[in-house]
Amino acid sequence: MHIQSNFRVQEGSDISALFSAMKPTAVTFYPADSAIYAQGDAAGPVYFVEFGTVRICRVTADGRRQIIAFHTAGDVFGFEAGHEHDCSAESVDGAGIRVLRTNCNETPTGSLLKLALASLSRAQCHMLVLGRRTANERMAAFLLDLSERQGDTNLVRLPMQRNDIADHLGVTFETVSRILRSLKDQGVLLLRSIHEIEILDRASLEDMCE
């Protein structure tokens, strides 16, 4: 299923360089929870998020899952070191994706390098979160990160469900639920609906992750 685009690629950005060098496909719609690629699939093309949210996952043999990252409109994902994907990518909430084929010689490696380094930087940041922060601090960091990506607004959308948040933060979904509750009780958050929260006391959240 192909649908029309609406995301504006910024002139002169690394992404626009990618777009001109690697003719992108039309937008393909992936319904919620559908796979974009699986662990073990052949790697090669990269993917551009037109709208919606994508999760990148790694799973242990006994089924424990770590969500490496969430990607939203404007993000590029899917580059791999080897010849196959060692993470899977799935649509979280219905996502529109363009595929950018790497035509071997004409790929703008400089632009890809910048994007890869940006991913690496985010990954390093998240390793500190996973390795050295408490559950409360993880949630605070996550909410601020979401808010920042959505334009530093205080009304934050949570397109993913509790389970996804938990698997991203390395806690259980019960813990996610409890922490949101506790932040509500402290007057830090207002839980508008399951997928929408309002930040009432941003300073408190920032204190929690310094």
For residue 71, give every residue at least 6 positions away whose Cβ sits within 8 Å of its Cβ, in sequence order, or none: 49, 53, 54, 55, 56, 77
Q: What's the rounded Cα separation, in Å, for the pair 29 and 131?
A: 35
* Cβ closest to DNA, residue 49 vs residue 176: 176
Closest CA to 59 of 79, 28, 87: 87
CB of 194 to a second copy, least distance (A): 23
Q: Which does 176 bind (CB under 5 to 8 A by kind): a second copy, DNA, none?
A: DNA
172 touches DNA by CB under 7 A: yes
Helix (H) or strand (E) holding 20: helix 14-21
Nearer CB in complex with a second copy: 106/185 = 106
Q: Which of 86, 148, 174, 198 binds DNA (CB under 7 A)?
A: 174
Q: Which is nearer to a second copy, 74 or 170 (CB)?
A: 170
Question: Per-residue string for binding with a second copy, 108-127, x by CB under 8 A?
Answer: -xx-xxx-xxxxxx-xxxxx
Q: Which listed residue (122, 163, 186, 198) binds DNA by CB under 7 A?
A: 163
Choose, by CB under 7 A, the member of 161, 190, 202, 204 that binds DNA: 161
Binding marks (x or -) toward DNA, 130..159, rule CB under 7 A? ----xxx-----------------------
User: Is the CB of residue 189 less than 8 Å from the CB of residue 200?
Assistant: yes
Strands 2-3, 95-100: pairing kind: unpaired
Binding residue count for a second copy, defined by CB under 8 A: 41
Altogether, the residues listed in the chain come to a count of: 210
DSSP element (H, E) containing 207: helix 202-209
